[in-house]
Amino acid sequence: MHFSIPDTQDCELNGSPYAGFNIHINGEYHCTVRYKQLHNLHEQIKKLNCQINFPQFPPKKYWPLTPNQLEERRSQLEKYIQAVGQSYNVPVKELFYAFLLTAQQESTFEKVREITLDVFLMNGYKISVSANSNDRSNYVLEKACSSINLPTAYIYYFSLFLLKKEESGELTIIRKLQDFESPYISQKNIQGNLKIMIRRSYWDAGYDLELMTDKVALNLLYVQTVSDIERGWIQCSKNTSDQLTALQSRGAKYEFLELARTLKYYSYVQFKECICDYPTPDSKVVVSAGQRELNLRIDAPGGEIKERSFKVTRMKCWRITTHNDIIETEEETVLQRDPQLDLSFEYLIAKDNLQWITITSEQAILMAVCLQSIVDELLLKKSGGNYKQPCDYHNGNFNYMKRDGSSQIICLSRSSSSDTFSSSSNGAGYSPVRSEPTMSMRRLSEKLSSLTKHSKPQPLVENDAFEGIGDDDL
């Protein structure tokens, strides 16, 4: 998960100004919080008595912060939430997720109310889910899957995804909806023609064999596979395509999947064409993630397409870098609205030979999230662990501090509150729609003098699966 606090904004509450820290997750704006709200969260994490060495939480200041002190606090808070977000401690993660979900509701001024949420299968079939506006993603997923009679044991082999319909009619995956966000709020606050869709959330096609024994799970896999073949994500020869068409016309879904599972790129996610510095600088590539690898289809001279696979077990680490072009005019200094994103990973090319490879893509963060989930699944299988089950939450409550200093009790088992937030108490002049996050207002004049053309890279994500590699893997 990619947590960051890239900027702050000036807010006001009852005539008193304060700094709001804008939390972004996986490249998208999520919420704005005050220092004292994060401090309250920190104090509750400490009470869990977890043996975790988090970065030092920035201390309180009793005088107004200077611009340099505010920037230092922003940086320290960013490091802190990155460490908390990457923790594998379940109570810590559930507390953090409940905080983020409630902060999203407060930041968007969304009052809790009953809504009907449309969730789609990949063939366009619509499931209308009755929920609360601030229900978390997993709760909505459970209700949607229950309405189509998917067995409880198989629900978390699937997830909710936000997909965007492009002008060409093509569907692009924006991101997987996480359990710290409300699908309703996230869909509402990102511009564009977005749909919430159910897709398989695992990478190892071996899980198919169990799911294919159930009629509903089989159908979910079938409609996604048909969609992926139609959009060219799964490639097949003319002969195989004819066989699949014949099976599809007969309604032979099981046999269709058996054949499709033998095809290259089955169960992969494909990204838009982008640029890579491998094998040569500025190479045009199509990146796909799946089957424990990143696969690159490279445009070679003469129109030839070459393939190169990078196994996740041979990636030592990776990171995301955001490149912001600074534009200076006589009136102001601003950052470009569409920053360039790089995914860089350190790869074991040969024994004792590590090489950095960089992919430049607007979907770089989604690629990194896919890498992390592939690694997590690999480690889960090695440990003999099982997929999470519905209602598999720790019981208990936590105290959420609102921006005005008042508190409310949040139930961790569902992390939806019956309380409502008043838009008049959350700061002045703030629009929650952040589809194109921009640097906020005071920060520009005070911080840009210290920036170079390129921002600092995010911290390295160490790959735990890399430790188990041996010479035989090379």
Please tell me the least confidently modeled range out of 22-26, 81-85, 308-312, 464-468: 464-468
**Among positive and negative, which fits the CA dihedral 459, 464, 465, 471?**
positive
Centre a 10 Å sphere on the Cβ of residue 86 and count the other Cβ atoms it contains: 14
**What's the confidence (pLDDT) of residue 269?**
94
**Average pLDDT, integer, range 377-385:** 86
**Average pLDDT, integer, range 5-24:** 90
Q: Judge whether residue 441 has pLDDT over 70.
A: no
**What's the confidence (pLDDT) of residue 224?**
96
**Average pLDDT, integer, range 254-280:** 94
DSSP 456: P
**Average pLDDT, integer, range 423-444:** 35
Cα–Cα dist 273/294, whole Å: 14
Q: Judge whether residue 362 has pLDDT over 70.
A: yes
3-state SS string over 165-196?
Answer: ECCCCCEEEEEECCCCCCHHHHHHCCCCCEEE
Would you say 140 and 183 are in contact if contact means Cβ atoms under 8 Å apart? Answer: yes
**Nearest C-alpha neighbor of 33 from the set 83, 80, 86:** 80
Contacts of residue 100, Cβ cutoff 8 Å, sequence gap at least 6: 23, 25, 30, 31, 180, 181
Residue with the bigger pLDDT between 11 and 220: it is 220
Residue with the bigger pLDDT between 367 and 408: it is 367
Q: Judge whether residue 458 has pLDDT over 80.
A: no
The amino acid sitting at 420 is T
Q: What is the pLDDT of residues 213-266, one digit of tens each?
A: 999 999 999 999 999 999 889 989 999 999 999 999 999 999 999 999 999 899
Q: Judge whether residue 16 has pLDDT over 80.
A: yes
**What's the confidence (pLDDT) of residue 456?**
56
Q: How would residue 409 be classed by pLDDT, with cut points 50, 70 and 90? A: confident
Most confidently predicted of 235-244, 297-306, 381-390 = 235-244
The CATH architecture annotation of domain 3-110+388-430 reads: 2-Layer Sandwich (3.30)
Cα–Cα dist 248/251, whole Å: 5
Domain boundaries 269-386+462-473, CATH class = mainly beta
Would you say 162 and 174 are in contact if contact means Cβ atoms under 8 Å apart? Answer: yes
Task: Return the SS3 of 113.
Answer: coil
Cα–Cα dist 323/398, whole Å: 38
Q: How would residue 455 be classed by pLDDT, with cut points 50, 70 and 90? A: low
Which whole-number Å values give the CA distances from 22 to 65, 128, 458, in the listed order? Answer: 17, 32, 16
Q: Judge whether residue 87 has pLDDT over 90.
A: no
Please tell me the least confidently modeled range out of 218-232, 296-310, 401-415: 401-415
Residue with the bigger pLDDT between 358 and 394: it is 358
Residue with the bigger pLDDT between 398 and 330: it is 398
Q: How would residue 424 be classed by pLDDT, with cut points 50, 70 and 90? A: very low
Q: What is the mean pLDDT of the chain?
A: 83
Cα–Cα dist 219/403, whole Å: 46
The CATH architecture annotation of domain 114-229 reads: Roll (3.10)
Q: What is the pLDDT of residues 331-355, one digit of tens each?
A: 555 545 566 889 999 999 988 899 9
Residue with the bigger pLDDT between 136 and 340: it is 136
Q: How would residue 446 be classed by pLDDT, with cut points 50, 70 and 90? A: very low
**Where does 212-273 have alpha helices with state H?**
215-230, 238-249, 253-260
Most confidently predicted of 58-62, 285-289, 372-376, 387-391 = 285-289
**Average pLDDT, integer, range 405-417:** 70
Quickly tell me which residue has 């004049």 as its tokens. Answer: 445
Share of the chain above pLDDT 70, in %: 83
Q: Domain coordinates of the chain in residue numbers?
A: 3-110+388-430, 114-229, 269-386+462-473
Q: Judge whether residue 136 has pLDDT over 80.
A: yes
**Average pLDDT, integer, range 409-422:** 56
**Average pLDDT, integer, range 91-115:** 91
DSSP line for 352-403: TEEEEEEEE-TTHHHHHHHHHHHHHHHHHHHHT-----TT-----EEEEEPT
**Average pLDDT, integer, range 169-173:** 81
Q: Judge whether residue 418 has pLDDT over 50.
A: no
Q: Judge whether residue 149 has pLDDT over 70.
A: yes
**What's the confidence (pLDDT) of residue 14?**
84
Contacts of residue 400, Cβ cutoff 8 Å, sequence gap at least 6: 40, 98, 99, 102, 103, 407, 408, 409, 410, 417
Q: How would residue 459 be classed by pLDDT, with cut points 50, 70 and 90? A: low
Most confidently predicted of 13-22, 269-278, 449-458 = 269-278
Helix (H) or strand (E) holding 21: strand 16-25
Number of H helices, E strands in the chain: 11, 21
Residue with the bigger pLDDT between 390 and 328: it is 390
